[in-house]
Amino acid sequence: MGANSSSIEYSPVRQTTSGQIRGRAFHLPEDKNRVVDGYLGIPYAQPPIGKYRFKKPVEAAQWSEVKDCLHFGPRCPQTDDYFAQYINIVGKDEANCLTLNVIAPRWKSEEWPKGLPVMVWIHGGGFAIHSSSNYGAATVARNLCVKDVLFVSINYRLGVFGFFSTATEECSGNMGLWDQTLALQWVQNNIAEFGGDPTNVTIFGQSAGGASVDLLTLSPHSNHLFKRVIPMSGCGECDFAFRTKEGQAKLSIEFARYLGWRGEDDDDKGLMEWMVRQPTTRLEVGINAKKGFRHSQAGNLYFVPTYDGDFFPKPPSVLRTEIPQKDVMTGVTQNEGLFFVALGGFHKSFEGIKRFLGRIFRECDYGSEATTIQKELYEFYTKDVDPKDKATISRRMVELFGDYAINVGTYNYANKMSKCGHNVYLYNFEYFNPDGFGLFRFIFPFRGATHCTEIRYILGKGIYSKFKPNEEDHRMIQMMTEYFSNFAKYGNPNGLTDGTNDLWEKHSQADSFRYFNIQLPKSHMANDFQNRRAEFWNSAVGPKNKTKSNL
């Protein structure tokens, strides 16, 4: 995407609600006559700076000249963690980060006279890092858009800028979710101009992006703006995705104290005036711990969505029962925890497992039960394991982290959505290329499908390593883009069928651990999702979470 403007073939000028824009053309390598137009870095909101820094977004102002939208917009402010030099292709800019991208096939489809189905991608990164630029444009055009779908990706405020909260009207939090909602409203108002159908929108995302997809589904402010959802490796039922407003407000004040705030705890107005005056770089956070900052809340993430009484006017458990009818596709990778365990170095001993449990299961959520839960989980994951068997210890630690962060929440989400009457398709992504891990191959205790592995087979771009697909990878790309585009078009990953011979069955309450295993040479239905470990969690852990029981 780094070509000079002089070498770019321009796409047709399009009229948006804020003004005219011009993009760039991508010719498909398989057929040079087929063109996909990319409109990149389109502003959808006014700059969230000054007094607007911690406020809800405002629709972008009008412009009079044709705006060139040829390159991705800047990232929202964040610290550069985890191999940032390999994945970040744009700079950071608080003022101009609220942009979106439209990747639109120029051709028409007789099957879709009202316009092509629209797929809106919400990026992950722990609500703290990454941007839409990490996931590509040309690769999306040749992998996904060729399936007759139009693709949109969005930026939203992250970290302190997106989720700081006083739990009062001074700053109720969830600015990042309001950004996502305004971007989805932009899609409703403008996507027909690009050849898309605003009545057939699917939102999908991975990790924190998957959690965002689910949280947007819960909120009455946003859940009318799309028809289908694909939360991948993350949802609102995952512990990392949500915090009580009291817990988030306490963490926010602790962070302000760390930066030098000396006011009273109840001086919300003074605190927010002080926060607005802080330089952007002082407020940047990432996934890694900020040196010297310690907070009282459980988990590794700082600033996340909260039950604020505004974006979520009722408790999420109540809103879950009031969601308009949606089609749902959701799932995990086989070894979700592998990526995180390798980076955290928890996998080498039983002591590492104890250290992890002590960090995650704390009194703030579990009260006096915290120690009991730590002990029960330790025994569950270390039973029948030789303390000298580091290979097995690593696998158990990967299971523990994956279950805590992703697997159990995803299973419970599929169950709850199915129980509420939504059409649900549950998957487990098992395929991996053993040569596809880049530098991470040196720190992984073993190789397998892990967090982010599946993204490259949908969007065509690796997140933590470059993607040079081999023959089997190309087969998986064809398989995954077919499943995802079919779901976006028809609400069924099998395609337009009568349901009698579907390879991928709907999720069933009667057999809730049955799932679709995505693998080569052939994907198939299977039993015992993630070895049914969610049964233990739901009996031994879930009922004791005192804060979650109030949500």
Residue 92 is assigned to a structural domain of this protein:
yes
Paired tokens of 381: 């994951």
Per-residue pLDDT at 550 exceeds 70: no
Let me know if 185 is exposed, middle or buried by CB neighbors in 10 A (0-12, 13-18, 19+).
middle
Reduce the secondary structure of 377-402 to three states and give it as a string.
Answer: HHHHHHCCCCCCCHHHHHHHHHHHHH
Q: E strand or H helix at 410, and its extent?
A: helix 408-419
**CATH number of 229's domain:** 3.40.50.1820
Confidence of residue 88 (pLDDT cuts 50, 70, 90): low
Q: Comparing 119 with 88, which gets the higher pLDDT?
A: 119
Three-state SS sequence of 196-264: EEEEEEEEEEECHHHHHHHHHHHCCCCCCCCCEEEEECCCCCCHHHCEEHHHHHHHHHHHHHHHCCCCC
Asked if omega into 521 is within 30° of 0 (cis), the reply is yes
Kindly list the catalytic residues: 207, 336, 451
Task: State whether 314 and 425 are in the same domain.
Answer: no
Q: Could you tell me which residues are beta bridge partners of residue 152?
A: 102, 120
Read off the pLDDT of each residue in 55-67 and give the average, rounded to a whole number. Answer: 98
> In Å, how far from its chain's centre is CA 397?
23
Residue 503 lies in a domain: no
Let me know whether 270 and 357 are in one domain: no
Distance CA 529, CA 408 (A): 10
Q: Which residue has the higher pLDDT, 359 or 377?
A: 377
Burial of 170 (0-12, 13-18, 19+ CB in 10 A): middle
Q: In whole angstroms, what is the distance from residue 419 CA to residue 13 CA? A: 46
Range of the domain at 383: 338-470+515-551
Chosen domain end from 324, 347, 379: 324
User: Two tokens at 56?
Assistant: 């809800």
Task: Let me know whether 368 and 244 are in one domain.
Answer: no
Judge if 364 and 448 occupy the same domain.
yes
318: tokens are 């109540």
- With respect to residue 481, please indicate whether it lies within any of the assigned structural domains: no
Cβ proximity of 426 and 534 under 8 Å:
no
* Bigger pLDDT: 329 vs 498: 329
Same domain (yes/no): 250, 389 = no
The conformation of residue 483, written as its DSSP 8-state character, comes to H
Domain boundary among 295, 324, 353: 324
Read off the tokens for 535: 């049964």
pTM of the model: 0.95
The answer on 228 and 133 residing in a single domain is yes
Does residue 501 lie in a domain region?
Answer: no
How far apart (Å, rounded) are the C-alpha atoms in residues 107 and 96?
A: 31
Residue 28, Cα to own-chain centre: how many angstroms?
28
Give the pLDDT confidence of 206-256 residue by residue, as tens digits.
999 999 999 999 999 999 999 999 999 999 999 899 999 999 999 999 999
Tell me the pLDDT tens digit for each residue of 418-443: 999 999 999 999 999 988 887 777 88
Q: 284 by DSSP, 3-state: which?
A: coil
State whether 46 and 103 are in the same domain. Answer: yes
Region for residue 299 given its phi and psi (left: phi exceeds 0; alpha: psi -120 to 50; beta: otherwise): left
Task: Give the C-alpha separation, 528 to 523, whole Å.
Answer: 16
Both 295 and 357 in one domain: the answer is: no
On whether both 309 and 353 belong to a single domain, the answer is no
Radius of gyration of the chain (CA): 23
Same-domain check for residues 195 and 151: yes
Same domain, 421 and 454: yes
User: Last residue of some domain: 296, 324, 352?
Assistant: 324
| Whether 90 contacts 121, CB under 8 Å | no
Q: What is the pLDDT of residues 390-412, one digit of tens each?
A: 999 999 999 999 999 999 999 99
And the tokens for 40? Answer: 């990149």
How many domains, the chain? 2
Let me know if residue 482 belongs to a domain: no
Whether 366 maps to a domain, the answer reads yes
* Same domain as 424, residue 531: yes
Task: Pick the range with the lowest mean pLDDT from 112-121, 343-352, 464-473.
Answer: 343-352
In this predicted structure, which of 46-55, 77-86, 186-195 has the lowest mean pLDDT?
77-86
Rounded CA-CA distance 105/260 in Å is 51
Q: Report if residue 203 sits inside a domain.
A: yes
Contact indicator for 330, 425 with CB cutoff of 8 Å: yes
- Asked if the structure places residue 524 within a domain, the reply is yes
Task: Please report, to the nearest 10 degrees, the dihedral formed by the alpha carbons of residues 57, 60, 61, 63 taken in order.
Answer: 160
Report d(CA 14, CA 29) in Å as an integer: 25
| In the predicted structure, residue 6 carries a pLDDT above the cut 80 | no
